[in-house]
Every structure is written in structure tokens, then in C-alpha cells.
Structure 1
Amino acid sequence: MNRTQPIDYKSVLSLFLPAGLLDYFDITEASNMGDYFMLVLVEKDIVPENLQDLPLISNGFHKTITVADFPVRDHTMYFRIKRRR
């Protein structure tokens, strides 16, 4: 019997999302709203290499923004994005 590999959903989603998006954001919610799809993206807590020696303080998130993107199967795709301060 052939054993199949489990599906790597991150690699499948990366085919439909802008390049590199999943390197910096986690998908926390996905919804089919009928006429459109909604993905909620939260920025990962990644400190740039050139700032790792500094004592950084997390100040929460900026106001959530909504971005409309390309249609998927005749549905608009909206991204609700939360970026760190």
C-alpha cells in the first residue's frame, strides 16, 4: 500500500497568497463570507537580525487594516492585517 504524505497547508496557501507573506504573518482565522473570503493575518514576533542586540519592548499592534486582493474562484479575497508596533 502507498503511504501518502500529509498535506502541508502552508505550501498550498503560498500558491494563492502574495510571495513571502506566510514568512512574516500567521493566519489566525479564515472565513467564507459567501460573496468573498476573509483571512485574518497577525504579524509574527520576529526581531530583525540587526536589532537583536537591542532591548526591544512590544507595544501591541497597530490598528487592523483590511486589504482587498485578487479574486479566487470569482470571489474577492480580503486580508485583515494586524502589524506589530
Structure 2
Amino acid sequence: MSKQKPQKRLSGRLVGTNYFYYFCTMELFKQLASLMLPSQILDYFDVVKVEEGATQIEISLDETYPESYKTDENIESKGFMEPTTITDFPIRDHKLLLHVRRRRWLNRKDGVSFCRPLNLV
């Protein structure tokens, strides 16, 4: 007869602990991603997809929706422009392709469409 390890059960009391674990995992992910991606890119973009092939890694990034735009009734997101593909330095002998999608914004006051200015060095 084999001995089984007791199953860990999650109770309502551990919800905060689970959230903290998720938060720590996300912070570690962001730290690791910031080391692999061009500097400051995570200030403006979210990683939405990562695909690894035999010879290349493809990372898809979407422009974030800044808090200041969420609270401004006059600014509205009108979707994304066509992605731009950037070839970056290889990672572990894999070609690295970054597919970057910028948002198109509309100022409802004057009807002008614009892109958010980025300060990437």
C-alpha cells in the first residue's frame, strides 16, 4: 500500500496569500522580461503572447491603456494599428522577433486621431 501525500486545500482564508503569490510571480516575470526586452518597453507595452519555434522566439506586445486616458472622457481608444516587427538580439541561439502594436486614439473634443508619444531611448 503506497503512502499518498496529503492534498493541500485552499480555503477562503488563503485568498490574500494566493493574491500575494500571484503578485510576486508577476513582479518576477516583469523583472525577467525587462532584462530580456529593450529598455523601458514594459513602461508602454504589455506582453500578450510568446511563441517559441525551433529557431526563433516571437513576442507580441500591445500598447497599454494609461490610467490618465481611462479617466478622460474625451480620449477614446480606436483599436490598434498594424503591428510593427522588430528584430532584437538573439536569446539562447534563437532569433528574437518583437511584434509591437500601437493604439490609435481619438480626441472626441476636436475629432483628431493621434498616437501616444513614447519616450524610448
Looking at CA atoms only, which structure, 1 or 2, has the larger radius of gyration? 2
Q: Report the identity percentage.
A: 33
Q: Which structure ranks higher in relative contact order (CA pairs < 8 Å, sequence separation ≥ 6)? A: 1
Matched, 1:58 2:72: no
What's the C-alpha RMSD, in Å, of the aligned pairs? 2.1
TM-score (norm 1): 0.80
Within 2, Cα distance between the matches of 1:47 and 1:83?
16
- Paired residues in the alignment total 79
Residue 35 of structure 1 is matched in structure 2 by: 55
1:30 to partner: Cα distance: 0.5
Unaligned stretches of 5+ in structure 2?
A: 1-20, 105-121
Indicate the residue corresponding to 1:46 in structure 2.
66
As a proportion of its length, which structure holds more helix?
Answer: 2
Normalization by structure 2: what TM-score?
Answer: 0.58
3-state secondary structure, aligned to 2:75: coil
Task: State the Cα deviation string for residues 1-53 of structure 1 (Å, max 9, x = none).
Answer: xxxx855110011111111111111111101111000001000011668xx76
Structure 1 residue runs without a partner (length 5+): none
